[in-house]
Structure 1
Amino acid sequence: MERFIKIISAPGAKGATAGVAPTQKNVGTVVKVSDNTVEVYAENDANYDPSFKKRLLDRWLDKVVHVAGSGFVFVLVMTILLVWALFGIKYGQSEMWQVVISDFQAIFCYIFDSFLMRQQLIGHDSIMTVAARLQSRNISNRRMLRHFAEKKSDKLSQIEKLDQSLITSEFPKVNWLGRLSNYAASVTGHVITIFLFWIGIFVWIGFGQYCGWSDEWQLYINSATSALMVFVFVFLENIREQHRTYSESCLALIHKTDSSLELRLRIVTGDTTDNETVVIPGPQVTKIQRAIYYYADLVGSLVGIGLMLIVIVIWVVIGPAMSFDSDWWLIIGTYTGLIGMTDGFILRNVFYHLGQHEDQAFDQIRTEDLAMFDVIGASPPAEDEIRDSGLSFRISASVDHFCSHEYVVMLGTMIMIVLVIGASVMKWSTTGQLLCNIPPSLIESFLMIILITSQNMADAKRRAVLFNMYQRRRHLLSYVSDSPIGDEQ
């Protein structure tokens, strides 16, 4: 019984992350070149692997998530939207045509909700594992630097004379596709775009009385937001995947440089103590936030994916009984619309809070890095900074913080309950089902656009953090490598 309770309570528990950096071993041959210089050939375990053991199904699901964020899928979905728009010229006035695109959007976004959630969770687990390993190696490097600096006090000024080209030449550059995506993300998630989005909504509302508040009038905005949401979801998945790929290339270089620094220090100091295991505490959360994490874990897990497939299968099975009419089409749109709105609130919340936890871990690494420069009595390199200025940024940051609050998630749940009650009073007529389609669609569209804004700002900051981290390690490595080590052997 206790084991069962432990299993069902495991989701949502953002516990501690343990990690240990592979200890670099001086197992090679040392060849003396001159009286005060030696050339060292040693085995260096610099392979970057942020992964951890997973079940086969989980690994396959992760691959599916990565493919969903690929450029191929993005182009494919954009092509489908274009074809739909072109056929809409002829069939756009048909109620069934608009209902079908609404359902396509609902099912598509329902699936991508799960993918985005899983993408967020596996990305967080990977980043925290990397952070723990970096902190683990920092402990050893600082200990060895202290020993090294005591014997090399006359060489401390060398670090100030480094050629900056050595620091920047190797660091990965964002390719043209990444730059284009970053620009598109900044436009899509800009506060002006959000403003225009709501202007369009109010214009549509203004025509409500003229159109007699008809189902057709409701379907117009439903079709528009459906197309918008398909674009936003696939675009968000794509820019996240691009950021993951770029970040991994940066972290691989940081790991290689960090490993080289450790190996060099072990060679010159003779230190053979293994790197320590570091445990990064999990975030302190309220019961409400724990419940939010629980739901997020379910949505992004195999269980959530399985439930999603079961719902879709049941909907297909009951199709013949309902003669595949418009009400049958609206059923899946109603369900996924309500669930999608809830997932939108959850995604926004999880992205913000897990991002804060990751930032704290990287801040700790920065503090430890600066402590190593204190040990050798040298100034750290100047840092790249992302300036948090401008009206657009401040507005976006404020809206971002508000929408990610746990109480706002609870508000979203209350809205869903009210909409279900309203549709029940209307006996789940076409109008009642549209009531459960349109408001959730509008809210989720807004939340996803806000998420793109947050993703864009977070990506820019993370790129600066990774570049600064690499700079500090390259400076330390150059300092150690430039020092004669013959008298240490």
Structure 2
Amino acid sequence: MPSLWQRIKTSISPVRSPIFAAAPTQKVRMDIAGRRSSPPSYTSDPEKSGAQISVTIISDPEELTTKKKLNVFDKITRLAGSSEVFFIMMALIAVWVLLGIIYGTTDTWQIIMQNASSIQVYVTDILLIRQQQNASRSLMTTLAEIQSRNKTCERLLRQIPGCQWMETHKDDPKELLVNGRPVEDEVEENLYMVNGRPSRFQYVWTKTCHAVSTVLGSLWAFIFYWIGILVWVGIGKLYDFSDTWQLYINTAVAVVLTFTSVFLQNIQQQQEDSLEKCLEYALKIDAEVEHRLRELTEDFKPNPIFEIAPPPRGRLERYIDNFADAMGSMLGVVISVVFTIAWVAVGPLLQFDDNWVLIIGTFTGLVGFIDGFVLRNLYCREEKIVGDEFNRIAWSDRKVLDLLNVEVPEKTMGKRKMDTRISIATGDALGSTAVSVGAVGFVILLLVIASAMQWSTTGQLLCNTPTMIIEGFLLLVLIQAHNIANEERGVEFNGVLKRRLLLNSYVHSLDGYM
């Protein structure tokens, strides 16, 4: 077990390592000596079993896996993605609007919103990076566990007479029914059982989130957003392109940023929780398959460790990952705290004027701007890795089912509409490594301009305005990426569950015994 210092160090500066897992080995405990003279009637409920032996599933606690327990920072990240936090943030925006109605929409009222939004989005970006890293590592570890058990099931099936390719393919392909019903019907019912019956509030809230995310992640939302920006640019001459004119757009975008960032974190947490439940259910079916095969073969060799090697990365991608590892850890929080303390300390020197007030928003805005592009780059690369791993599992499953001459009906993604393809292409372009590097160069350019203007109010607004506008659009792109990933994961898991139900039905139909 790692020491306290090692755990603290890992939480502050995480180390990237290969993903690996060994599925917990299912063991059969026999209460009678000798080999069985007749096949048992298998059931998962010992009280209903008429078998001559008592069967118990035992999971080996010593199996290796990269799936770790959540630390305090991880628990905070999950809490931040809850619906309760989302409603609290919306209530705070409502209070700010109410104060503006009562006391007037002054420059100070707007600056307060901009600074608060910049800080909130900056913190949320850190949590989004952490959320993405945790979800990706947990998902990939589960997929490694599935592959580990696949290796064992294939090996055990080859030991059973009649399960060889030449034997099973003498007849037409088997059309298996699961519990006497078509596999598609069984998949739908099992998915319903896994997710459970939601309360009325949960049902309405889930449907509302889905509808809102579909709208925000659409090409039309992208177009409407930029039309609003062009209208603001068009009225600039009426305001002589003044600081007040810049404040207007900064305030409007600040509200958008606060809503979309918290909403994104909430719907991602919903997706992560749902997928985790579904995969846990698939693992239980896998365990039943392994258990039955071990009953038939009396082979108790442990499941192998399956490792998913990290993909090759270029130098720029390693820099991006190092930045993400730092910002998505306690180190990012420490940097924020240090800067905040320094900002408060210089307050008396600047007489707590408007420039001083803007400093914290400028810092968090510029760093949050880079965080947004880094996050999009991570999404693009991780989605490809996860998609490839699901494809490998599908190939491994089909290999086993083909050995048994069992046909696998597959559900595929339909052709996407033109507007969806355009929005996906836009998101992919913004997630490229070159664009992430370009974002850093853009921030450096803004810093040079602001320094030349001696960090005046106008200079700081020049740093805030373009970065907030682009980051607002980027969050819409991230919501669109979430929608696409959610749809793809649904299709992929449907296939995983379907193939496991078919294999489970097949192995429990075997009545032979070696």
Of 236, 248, 252, which aligns to 2:264? 236
Residues of 1 paired with 2:32 and 2:467: CA distance?
67
Residues 391 and 30 (structure 1), Cα distance of their counterparts in 2 relative to 1, 3 Å cut: farther
The range that moved more, 87-96 or 114-123, is 87-96
Amino acid of the structure 2 residue aligned with 1:150: G
Residues of 1 paired with 2:344 and 2:206: CA distance?
39
Residues of 2 paired with 1:254 and 1:148: CA distance?
24
Check if 1:61 corresponds to 2:64: no
The aligned runs of 1:231-310 (5 Å cut-off) are: 231-310=259-338
Check if 1:103 corresponds to 2:115: yes
Residues 42-80 of structure 1 show CA distances to partners (whole Å, capped at 9, x for unaligned) of 2224799987346xxx70000000000001000110111
Residues 36 and 51 (structure 1), Cα distance of their counterparts in 2 relative to 1, 3 Å cut: closer
Amino acid of the structure 2 residue aligned with 1:166: E
What residue in structure 2 maps to residue 188 of structure 1?
216
Residues of 2 paired with 1:199 and 1:261: CA distance?
56
Amino acid of the structure 1 residue aligned with 2:506: Y
What residue in structure 2 maps to residue 319 of structure 1?
347
Residues 448-469 of structure 1 show CA distances to partners (whole Å, capped at 9, x for unaligned) of 1101000111011112211210
1:16 CA displacement: 2.2
Residues of 2 paired with 1:478 and 1:319: CA distance?
70
Check if 1:448 corresponds to 2:475: yes
Amino acid of the structure 2 residue aligned with 1:134: I
8 Å Cα contact 2:13/2:331 also seen in 1: no
Amino acid of the structure 2 residue aligned with 1:52: K
Computed over aligned residues only, the root mean square deviation of the Cα atoms, in angstroms, reads 2.6
Check if 1:401 corresponds to 2:428: yes
Residues 254 and 46 (structure 1), Cα distance of their counterparts in 2 relative to 1, 3 Å cut: farther
What residue in structure 2 maps to residue 370 of structure 1?
398
Amino acid of the structure 2 residue aligned with 1:211: Y
Check if 1:169 corresponds to 2:197: no
Residues of 1 paired with 2:415 and 2:352: CA distance?
53
1:346 CA displacement: 0.4
Residues of 2 paired with 1:310 and 1:294: CA distance?
20
Of 470, 473, 478, which aligns to 2:497? 470
Residues of 1 paired with 2:13 and 2:311: CA distance?
15
Residues of 2 paired with 1:136 and 1:453: CA distance?
33
8 Å Cα contact 1:146/1:376 also seen in 2: no
The aligned runs of 1:64-75 (5 Å cut-off) are: 64-75=76-87
Residues 242-294 of structure 1 show CA distances to partners (whole Å, capped at 9, x for unaligned) of 01110111011011001111111111122222111111110111100110001
1:401 CA displacement: 1.2
Residues 25-44 of structure 1 show CA distances to partners (whole Å, capped at 9, x for unaligned) of 11144899996653454222
Residues of 2 paired with 1:279 and 1:151: CA distance?
28
What residue in structure 2 maps to residue 223 of structure 1?
251
8 Å Cα contact 2:57/2:291 also seen in 1: yes
Task: Say which SS state the counterpart of residue 190 (structure 2) adopts.
Answer: coil
Residues of 1 paired with 2:421 and 2:124: CA distance?
29
What residue in structure 2 maps to residue 44 of structure 1?
57
Amino acid of the structure 1 residue aligned with 2:177: K
Residues of 1 paired with 2:286 and 2:60: CA distance?
11
Residues 30 and 262 (structure 1), Cα distance of their counterparts in 2 relative to 1, 3 Å cut: farther
Task: Say which SS state the counterpart of residue 436 (structure 1) adopts.
Answer: helix
Amino acid of the structure 2 residue aligned with 1:44: I
What residue in structure 1 maps to residue 3 of structure 2?
none
The aligned runs of 1:428-447 (5 Å cut-off) are: 428-447=455-474
8 Å Cα contact 1:19/1:132 also seen in 2: yes
1:387 CA displacement: 2.3
1:310 CA displacement: 1.5
Residues of 2 paired with 1:245 and 1:349: CA distance?
23
What residue in structure 2 maps to residue 20 of structure 1?
22
Residues of 2 paired with 1:46 and 1:449: CA distance?
43
Amino acid of the structure 2 residue aligned with 1:484: D
Residues of 1 paired with 2:363 and 2:386: CA distance?
34
Of 113, 124, 132, which aligns to 2:144? 132
Amino acid of the structure 2 residue aligned with 1:464: V
Gaps of 5+ in 2: 1-8, 43-50
- TM-score, normalization: structure 1? 0.91
Residues of 1 paired with 2:339 and 2:279: CA distance?
40
8 Å Cα contact 1:149/1:375 also seen in 2: no
Residues 53 and 215 (structure 1), Cα distance of their counterparts in 2 relative to 1, 3 Å cut: same
Amino acid of the structure 2 residue aligned with 1:390: K
Residues of 2 paired with 1:100 and 1:449: CA distance?
24
8 Å Cα contact 2:285/2:504 also seen in 1: yes
8 Å Cα contact 2:413/2:491 also seen in 1: yes
Amino acid of the structure 2 residue aligned with 1:199: I
Amino acid of the structure 2 residue aligned with 1:357: I
Residues of 1 paired with 2:502 and 2:286: CA distance?
11
Task: Say which SS state the counterpart of residue 96 (structure 2) adopts.
Answer: helix
What residue in structure 2 maps to residue 115 of structure 1?
127
Amino acid of the structure 1 residue aligned with 2:22: V
| Percentage of pairs with the same residue | 32
1:479 CA displacement: 1.0
Amino acid of the structure 2 residue aligned with 1:347: L
Residues 98 and 151 (structure 1), Cα distance of their counterparts in 2 relative to 1, 3 Å cut: closer
Of 237, 248, 258, which aligns to 1:209? 237
Residues of 1 paired with 2:412 and 2:151: CA distance?
26
Task: Say which SS state the counterpart of residue 279 (structure 1) adopts.
Answer: strand
Gaps of 5+ in 1: 1-6
What residue in structure 2 maps to residue 4 of structure 1?
none
- TM-score, normalization: structure 2? 0.87
The range that moved more, 18-27 or 227-236, is 18-27
The aligned runs of 1:381-400 (5 Å cut-off) are: 382-400=409-427
8 Å Cα contact 1:400/1:450 also seen in 2: yes
The range that moved more, 130-139 or 65-74, is 130-139
